[in-house]
Amino acid sequence: MSGARAEAAGRPLPREPDDEGEDLEYVAVRERLEFLNEVSGKIGTSLDLARTIGEVSRAVVPRFTDVAGTYLREQVVAGEGFPDGVPDTRTMWHRVALEHTDEPGRWDDVVPVGEAMPFPAHTPFFQCMTSGEPVLVPRISERMGHAIASQFEKRDIRPLITGRSMLVVPLKARHVVLGFMILLRHPERAEFNDMDRVTGAELAARAGLVLDNARMYTYQESVAETLQDSMLPHIPPRMAGCDIATRYLPGTLLGRIGGDWFDSVKLPGARTALVVGDVMGHGLNSAAMMGQLRTAVQTMAALDLPPAQLLRNLDDLAQRLGETYLATCLYAVYDPIASELHLANAGHIPPVLVRADDGRSELLDLPTGAPIGVGGVPFEAVRVGVAPGDRLVMCTDGLVEMRGEDIGVGLATLCESAAHPAASMDDACDTIIRALNTRGGRKDDVALLLARLNGIEPDDVAEWTFPLAPAQVGRARAVVREQLHGWGLAKLAGPAELMVSEVVTNAVRHSHGRPVTLRLVRGDALLCEVDDDDHEMPTLLSAGPDDEVGRGLRVVSTLAREWGTSRTAAGKSVWFELTLPRR
């Protein structure tokens, strides 16, 4: 016997249907399988929850039903994770989609999309969502129509549902009901039957799986965005001697959350640290690493480490955290009194400096350095003189780098757009974003920091040095009083004298040999700084009625708008700010 004949003998031959009923049943089953396969091909094309809901609704109308209303649990719509527990009469259900073949607008006013409501226990909807099984109502009677309509205040839904055949199918995932679909057929159409119930259950199972995938993605994306938003700082628009504006744009790919960040840190001497960094990769891991590195930069900046040393320490930290920790970082310290930038770079794209006198923009030539986490590579710092009104532009490569395009094109566009005149710092940021973001092809996230370096005039700075003698405290009060009167700030003389007296007294008492320095800076606020050579940081104490010491910083904390302590190369600096009186 040949192989073909043996194969034919080993399987039953197809047979003709015994009667017409069997033939009709076979056709009906085949049609439903074709329908389910067709629906499966139309849904799940996106991980966007709203789009997926629309695909599910449109897939069943009009072929399987004439009206399809989709309801989801409140937690699913809000992206709050997987809902717990069995639904009850208090569970809120959001109507997220309504597809129908009726005349346009007929359903919109009575059952608008976006409405949320609970469902009473006597309704077939409650039965479906609590049992997790389809509920079939061959025809909605007048009585049932009235019962369903009773929950719609001042809206009569009975003409839309009475006399129609209804099938309610649950949208489930992992044995939890995420929502349900209400399917209605016109009175002149065949009623839903048991086979339709099975078809609807299979349809709902496939739709529930697709919706759960979209829900999980939406939830994870929401978690990542919340994490990243909480880690990105809210930078004040004005710092000592400079104005700052920032922008952050998420990426356009799946997993678009990344590790780009910007920051600014107040430093002693009216200086400001400006930071932009980019963790390699995307997703929650990159966002989490970004938070760790940003916190480390904040901490080390507060120690007033020089830029190159700060990047060196950050590189050591990244290596201790793990081999996969790689990031680029640009760190700049602006001194508005000396009119100088002190910058160090760790594998980041260079910043742009726009000169105020002629509007010329240039990429600053900095030693590139290696990315943070590579290890064993030295970092170098450079000093750049600036003038009042110059603008510094720092950004991540996602803004200037496009696939298939040389990065030099993006950098040239950045320089050109940064040089455009703008009415405000926010307008200047928007100009840069428009110029670079409209080219198309951007997929990475973007961090942009723009600083206008206003400087501080010499006449707004006063500085004195005092020997380590208790009598110098009185002299400190006197020079502060005289200077504030000269600046027209006599109203601040009283509290400023009191706080200076307390801080200088502590500095004279704890210094080891180096004279105490007192500096006043008049800007958006009155800044007072007292430096000494003691490295032990002072702490705020709760002095009792019989204690002779411990009240100095309590006085400063009470009277100052803001105050703090910082380490310096020679010791420490204690500073406070007072709000300038309105003119």
State the Cα–Cα distance between residues 344 and 299, nearest whole angstrom: 17
Residue 214 confidence (pLDDT)? 74
- Structural domain total, the chain: 3
**Pair 463, 445 in one domain:** no
Residue 10 lies in a domain: no
Residue 575 is part of a domain; what is its CATH number? 3.30.565.10
Distances in Å between the alpha carbon of 544 and those of 119, 449, 558, 582? 62, 47, 17, 37
* Tokens (6 digits) for 464: 């004195």
Same domain, 324 and 265: yes
CATH classification of the domain holding 123: 3.30.450.40
CATH number of the domain to which 355 belongs: 3.60.40.10
Helix (H) or strand (E) holding 194: helix 194-231
Is 40 domain-assigned? yes
Measured CA distances, 518 to 121, 391, 463, 508 (Å): 75, 30, 6, 11
Residue 396: per-residue pLDDT = 92
| Geometric angle at alpha carbon 89, from 87 and 92, rounded to 5° | 70
> 72 near 178, Cβ under 8 Å?
yes
Let me know whether 293 and 363 are in one domain.
yes
pLDDT of residue 463: 95
Any domain includes 531: yes
**pLDDT at residue number 545:** 55
- What pLDDT does 107 receive? 84
Q: Are both 556 and 463 inside the same structural domain?
A: yes
Predicted local distance difference test score (pLDDT) of residue 582: 79
DSSP classification of residue 172: E
Q: Are residues 201 and 239 in the same domain?
A: no
List of residues 6+ apart from 432 with CB closer than 8 A: 393, 395, 399, 414, 417, 418, 448, 450
Q: In the listed set 434, 453, 472, which residue is the last one of a domain according to the structure?
A: 453
Contact (CB, 8 A) for 66 and 103: no
Nearest to 36 by CA among 202, 173, 153: 202
Whether residue 438 is found in the same domain as residue 506: no
Q: The pTM is what?
A: 0.69
In a domain, 11, yes or no: no
Kindly state whether residues 188 and 312 are assigned to the same domain.
Answer: no
Regarding whether 63 and 194 lie in a shared domain, the answer is yes
**Which of 198, 222, 246 represents a domain boundary (last residue)?**
222
Say whether both 242 and 198 belong to one domain.
no
Per-residue model confidence (pLDDT) at position 269: 85
- Residue 176 has what pLDDT? 79
In a domain, 499, yes or no: yes
Are residues 464 and 406 located together in one domain of the fold? no
Does some domain include residue 322? yes
Residue 2 resides in a domain: no
**Regions of the chain where pLDDT drops below 50:** 1-17, 254-255, 547
Please give the pLDDT value at position 4.
41
Q: Are both 153 and 203 inside the same structural domain?
A: yes
The residue range of the domain holding 503 is 458-579
d(CA 226, CA 287) in angstroms, rounded, equals 10
Boundary-marking domain end, from 435, 453, 471 = 453
Vertex 146 angle, CA 140 and 150, to 5°? 130
Q: Are residues 439 and 475 in the same domain?
A: no
Residue 6 placed within a domain? no
